[in-house]
């Protein structure tokens, strides 16, 4: 089990700025177990803050951000690539990882296991966002969840973009062993061509990064890479 995280980020410095840049970094992530007591210190406050920024009601979750800071970032856990994005809302930054990139056919996954993982995520300080369908336009995201799971995001908060991302990656590293089996398998099956992504651009980015790092991740992890 690798504890090394690789990130490639496409950063937009601010509103109305066309300049963007790519950078790759690697960070040593401590493989610390979640406390058996359940709640990580500060986690409850983080989740409450996330719920104010990303409110949910009647199966709809809405995130109306001000700016996008990271687009199509890629991070790796146990050899699999995941897409992450970061947005600013007011003075706070919200980083989200696509635990399951949206697929066409819903998963066969027990609701109990999804609910249990949602509790684990919240106890660790992340906002879980399972969804049946997702609509986005610009920086507006609307998730609808009616039971079937076609996608699953996790969100973290921070007072800078980097802080929110590092928090997300550290907690994701601790939570990955608790991800429901069908969700983890579906992400791999997506990369293996056994499932269809709703958005082909998502699959194209994931597949390209997976192919590249499959043979080069360890010897070349310090080099710059582009999507």
Residue 11 is part of which domain span? 4-30+43-216
210 is written with which tokens? 């997976």
Alpha-carbon torsion angle 109, 167, 19, 153, nearest 10: 10
Rounded mean pLDDT of 160-178?
A: 96
Q: How confident is the model at residue 93 (pLDDT cuts 50, 70, 90)?
A: very high
With respect to residue 226, please indicate whether it lies within any of the assigned structural domains. Answer: no
In this structure, is residue 17 part of a structural domain?
A: yes
Q: Which residue has the tokens 């856990």?
A: 77
Q: Is 224 within the bounds of a domain?
A: no
Could you tell me which residue, 172 or 8, shows the higher pLDDT?
172
pLDDT-above-90 percentage for the chain: 69
pLDDT band at residue 16, thresholds of 50, 70 and 90? very low
Please report whether residue 222 resides in a domain.
Answer: no
Minimum mean pLDDT range among 13-17, 128-132, 176-180? 13-17
* pLDDT exceeds cutoff 70 at 131: yes
Question: Does 89 fall in a domain?
Answer: yes
Q: Answer whether residue 37 is part of any domain.
A: no
Q: Evaluate whether residue 35 is within a structural domain.
A: no
Domain count, the chain: 1
Question: What's the pLDDT score for residue 211?
Answer: 84
Task: Supply the pLDDT for residue 56.
Answer: 95
Structure tokens at 164: 């929110």
Tell whether 227 is covered by a domain: no
Mean pLDDT of 81-93: 96
Q: Which pLDDT tens digit goes with each residue over 172-217?
A: 999 999 999 999 999 999 999 999 999 998 989 998 888 887 644 4
Distances (CA, A) of 9 to 24, 72, 148, 220, 227: 7, 7, 31, 17, 9
């Amino acid at each position: 089990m690798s504890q090394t995280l690789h990130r490639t980020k496409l950063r937009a410095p601010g509103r109305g700025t066309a300049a963007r840049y790519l950078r790759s970094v690697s960070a040593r992530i401590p493989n610390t177990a979640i406390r058996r007591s359940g709640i990580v210190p500060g986690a409850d406050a983080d989740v409450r803050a996330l719920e104010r920024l990303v409110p949910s009601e009647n199966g709809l979750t809405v995130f109306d951000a001000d700016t996008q800071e990271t687009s199509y970032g890629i991070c790796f856990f146990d050899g699999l690539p995941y897409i992450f994005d970061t947005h600013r809302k007011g003075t706070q930054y919200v980083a989200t990882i696509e635990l399951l990139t949206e697929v066409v056919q819903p998963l066969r996954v027990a609701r109990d296991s999804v609910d249990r993982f949602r509790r684990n995520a919240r106890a660790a300080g992340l906002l879980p966002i399972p969804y049946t369908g997702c609509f986005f336009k610009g920086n507006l995201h609307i998730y609808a969840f009616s039971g079937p799971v076609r996608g699953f995001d996790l969100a973290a908060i921070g007072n800078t973009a980097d802080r929110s991302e590092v928090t997300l990656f550290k907690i994701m590293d601790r939570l990955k062993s608790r991800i429901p089996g069908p969700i983890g398998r579906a992400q791999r099956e997506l990369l293996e061509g056994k499932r269809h992504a709703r958005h082909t651009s998502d699959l194209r980015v994931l597949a390209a990064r997976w192919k590249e790092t499959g043979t080069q991740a360890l010897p070349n992890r310090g080099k710059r890479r582009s999507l």
